[in-house]
Structure 1
Amino acid sequence: MNAVVLAVAIMLTLSVLRVNVVLALFLGAIGGGLVGGLDFHTTLAAFTKGLEGGAGIAISYGMLGAFAMAISVSGIPQCLADQIINKVANTKNSARIRLSIIGSLLLMAFASQNLVPVHIAFIPILIPPLLGVFSSLQLDRRIVASTLSFGLIATYLLVPIGFGNIYLTQILAGNLNNNGLNIDPDLMPVAMAMPVAGMFVGLLIAIFWSYRKPRNYRIEETKVAGFRETKVITPKTVTVSLTAIVAVLAVQLITDSMAMGAATGFVIMIIGGVVHWRESDDVFAQGIQLMAMCGFIMISASGFAEVLRETGDIPALVEAVEQLVFGSQALAALLMLIVGLLITMGIGSSFSTIPILATLYVPLAMTLGFSPMAIAVLVGTAGALGDAGSPASDSTIGPTAGLNVDGQHDHIRDTVIPTFIHYNIPMIIFGWAAAMIL
């Protein structure tokens, strides 16, 4: 059996059985390594080697958590939450309120990828104060998880700014060109437009069909978990915070480092007096703690990915696709997308999957006669598939971190499965159609 398929199957099965994702990744890597021809010690060595690759991501997430906590100390997130709560209290049309909340969360998720580049770090800060509102409205949190996941993923797939610039221009276009496909990086948003349209269709289905019915939550526990002290916001606080946000974006774009950008923003918050220097260590530690679990999962996912690479079964999986298609572009496109889904589900990061897939898919797709735009669609979509729906993806970890602070939101059943169904399936359909048309 192919080691990639087995490793992903073990990881997903254990996750569904409520085994911790970090342990599921570790055991999946061990199983995949042994089946892939590695002995136990070699598998452990490969896993350990892969952990080093995830350290940079973990540092970036820790820094983003610290900056997000500094923003939280400013009182701005609580102010936004209070405005939403007051609006809910003064409005009797619950359906309109639900849509307003969903729209607001979607805009915040969009902004977290470019305008305020804190990625998922804003979710554990902003969402807990709103849980009482969600519970009183009987709003199914699976809608919130689906909305946040869509905002996080669709933005970097379509908008070439911030994280989108990293994915579309540097990673996707860069790897396509490095593997012999001459294509303009500016065409990447056009290539990804149809797959993102598929995600949008999935979002509409989740909101207006799948989870439209009221769902009951224990409100008292929600209120305790979501409690935060209200803080008076001054013009100075707003000015310093906005300056820090702009600096984070500027430094990240200049240095190509999320960690450096977040650190710069945190320092500005201290110099501006929003975070008192005597309290800075506590705020920083709280931010690290905020994102600690996310960091551990991403590090483990890097170890998991390294074991899969060492087995050599990723190229074997692609070769099996080549043998099965018999020269059919339609069948090849479908199988390439499905294989990309399997790989990304295991690795948990579309950013890390693209370099692997581009090396294997570009020569195969060129041999089968796909156009440059179609190849861009296949590689970009295959890499993004699984980012929604993977237990190890930050796009699913982030929503759970905010929605489960009162213990009423299950990571697998309430975030992973809903996002897998509503995003991966439409993306395969729309991505396949785009590859056939372009």
Structure 2
Amino acid sequence: MLLNPVVVSVLVLAALSLARVNVIVALLIAALVAGLMSGQSVEDTMSLLVGGLGGQGETALSYILLGILSVMVARSGITEKLIRWVLPKMRGKRAMTVFGIAGLACFSQNLVPVHIAFIPILIPPLLTVFNRMKLDRRAVATALTFGLKAPYMLIPLGFGLIFQNVILDEMAAYGMDVDLAEISLAMAIPVASMLIGLVIAVLVTYRRPREYRDATAGLAATFLGSTSVGESAGGSAGGAGGAAGLETRAENTGWTRQHIVVLIALAVTLVLQVVFGSLVIAALGGVLVIFVFRGEYWRTSDELAHGGVTMMGTIAFIMLVASGYSSVLTETGAVDDLVTSATGWIGDSQLLAAVVMMVVGLLVTIGIGSSFGTIPILAAIFVPLCAAVGFSPLATAALVGAAGAIGDAGSPASDSTLGPTSGLNVDGQHHHIWDTCVPTFLHFNIPLFFGGIIAAMVL
């Protein structure tokens, strides 16, 4: 088991990422390790990786479109209004601010299922506020990741309904029935452990003030570009013009037609996401509304696309490579071998069975980067194994759900970590591995590991 290609590959990925090797390079090297250890040639491994790139194509495209939309929102000046309104309410209240962000993020999975779409729109303009509060962004990263994970594990609405139905269907496919309402009960203890991790992160680990340099001008250049609709009328241009435009808008407290158009576009984006369940359709709809109603001119589309790619392009490409890496792990049979070999360690011990299943879930999900995609892989072995050692259907649901979700936080290739990084690193002061993945791994995966085991033993 210890020399299984998945185990070795994930350890290589973790070691390279912690050594600050670029995540894309680390994923490629880890994929080669997994392929070669599985008996594949370099050429075959690369073919599997390239063939699997399309698995996250829609997610990558949605990231780019959301980046373009967020640039449009920022250029309109609404973000400056948000800062001026929020700053007096947030000053000196770091812990409450972080818990508020966690609560807001929770809505993105169930009540308003936009997933990570809100992060590149909401978080970058708040960085100036966070800097003035000396708020540790690692606390914000843990809050965002909690909001992206805990609600879908616990609440059967939106993405949560999808997640819990996957558990329900996979358990039924292997001969164990459980009601949908019972899955929320099964996941209560694992989610409670994550809540404990969040409280520790905010009130203990990252409670001290942390200094960041003021990068407002850089943010203005990133978001505003050389021109905007308002600046075109005034004739300002260039990077300095962008900053000047920011100051001009800051002085203008009135609402303009551009502001109204952008608000309508955001509402359309939300409605399309709820109706179609597609971030691509939703983000494209919002972008088109702004163009059609002249919130931006069509001639600025190249500039806006460049800004969107600058903001989200790296994240989108990581998702593509991560999909190829996942394909290498699954198509070579390495994941199946890991799950099968792990069962030989268990015997008749329920405690040992729970520990091994959580470890396997952690390794597989960190590599694949998706809890939704991990559950079908694990359920094929875990459900019959749980039945053999005497776990109840409720305990089995807790193990399958917790083992499928445990590696999502802390994975360099998960949108639960890439999403927060995309918003917090706009000014280049937030490292994806050390400031997002490591904090979320420590405060969520470790509590979730023990929470899953406890749930299995008491349910």
Counterparts of 1:141 and 1:286, CA distance in 2: 23
Change (3 A) 1:380 1:272: farther
- Structure-to-structure mapping, 1:340-351, within 5 angstroms: 340-351=361-372
Deviation at 1:365, TM superposition (A): 1.9
Partner residue of 2:33? 31
Deviation at 1:385, TM superposition (A): 0.8
Deviation at 1:9, TM superposition (A): 0.8
Q: Which moved more, 1:227-236 or 1:53-62?
A: 227-236
Deviation at 1:368, TM superposition (A): 2.4
Picking from 123, 146, 154, the partner of 2:119 is 123
The question of 1:6 aligning with 2:5 is answered no
Alignment: residue pair count: 429
Partner residue of 1:160? 156
Picking from 361, 369, 373, the partner of 2:394 is 373
Counterparts of 1:82 and 1:208, CA distance in 2: 26
User: Which structure 2 residue ranges, 5 or more long, are not aligned?
Assistant: 224-245
Picking from 144, 164, 187, the partner of 1:148 is 144
Q: Which moved more, 1:193-202 or 1:283-292?
A: 283-292
Query: TM-score, normalized by length of structure 1?
Result: 0.89
Picking from 413, 422, 439, the partner of 1:401 is 422
The question of 1:211 aligning with 2:189 is answered no
Contact preservation (8 Å) 1:68, 1:121: no
Partner residue of 2:61? 59
Contact preservation (8 Å) 1:110, 1:151: yes
The question of 1:196 aligning with 2:191 is answered yes
Counterparts of 2:138 and 2:402, CA distance in 1: 24
Change (3 A) 1:271 1:162: farther
Deviation at 1:192, TM superposition (A): 1.8
Counterparts of 1:10 and 1:129, CA distance in 2: 36
Contact preservation (8 Å) 1:128, 1:225: no
Partner residue of 2:81? 79
Please tell me the residue identity of whatever aligns with 2:121. Answer: I
1:206-257: CA deviations, max 9, x gaps? 111112222233x34x333344724766486676556545544444444343
Contact preservation (8 Å) 2:197, 2:443: yes
- Structure-to-structure mapping, 1:308-323, within 5 angstroms: 308-323=329-344
Picking from 199, 217, 223, the partner of 2:216 is 223
Counterparts of 1:66 and 1:9, CA distance in 2: 35
User: Which structure 1 residue ranges, 5 or more long, are not aligned?
Assistant: none
Contact preservation (8 Å) 2:70, 2:120: no
- Structure-to-structure mapping, 1:416-431, within 5 angstroms: 416-431=437-452
1:330-377: CA deviations, max 9, x gaps? 211111011101111111121222222222322222232222222221
Change (3 A) 1:62 1:160: farther
Contact preservation (8 Å) 2:67, 2:120: no
Contact preservation (8 Å) 1:344, 1:386: yes
Contact preservation (8 Å) 1:349, 1:387: yes
Deviation at 1:318, TM superposition (A): 1.6
The question of 1:391 aligning with 2:426 is answered no
Deviation at 1:315, TM superposition (A): 1.9
Change (3 A) 1:65 1:136: closer
Please tell me the residue identity of whatever aligns with 1:140. Answer: D
1:241-288: CA deviations, max 9, x gaps? 565455444444443433223323333344444444454554355334
SS at match of 1:342: helix
Counterparts of 1:434 and 1:187, CA distance in 2: 13
Contact preservation (8 Å) 1:143, 1:211: yes
Q: Which moved more, 1:2-11 or 1:205-214?
A: 205-214
Partner residue of 1:415? 436
Counterparts of 2:435 and 2:109, CA distance in 1: 23
Deviation at 1:124, TM superposition (A): 3.4
- Structure-to-structure mapping, 1:34-49, within 5 angstroms: 34-49=36-51
1:361-403: CA deviations, max 9, x gaps? 2222223222222222111111111111111112222222222
Counterparts of 1:375 and 1:233, CA distance in 2: 57
Contact preservation (8 Å) 1:333, 1:432: yes
SS at match of 2:56: helix
Change (3 A) 1:242 1:354: farther
SS at match of 2:386: helix
The question of 1:437 aligning with 2:434 is answered no
Q: Which moved more, 1:393-402 or 1:64-73?
A: 64-73
Picking from 353, 360, 369, the partner of 1:332 is 353
1:114-169: CA deviations, max 9, x gaps? 45544334333333333333333332221111111111111222233333233233
Counterparts of 1:122 and 1:17, CA distance in 2: 30
Please tell me the residue identity of whatever aligns with 1:128. Answer: P
Partner residue of 1:173? 168
Query: TM-score, normalized by length of structure 2?
Result: 0.85
Please tell me the residue identity of whatever aligns with 1:223. Answer: T
Partner residue of 1:184? 179
Please tell me the residue identity of whatever aligns with 1:309. Answer: T
Q: Which moved more, 1:39-48 or 1:356-365?
A: 356-365
Please tell me the residue identity of whatever aligns with 2:177. Answer: N
Contact preservation (8 Å) 1:84, 1:101: no
Picking from 111, 121, 136, the partner of 2:132 is 136
Change (3 A) 1:242 1:184: farther
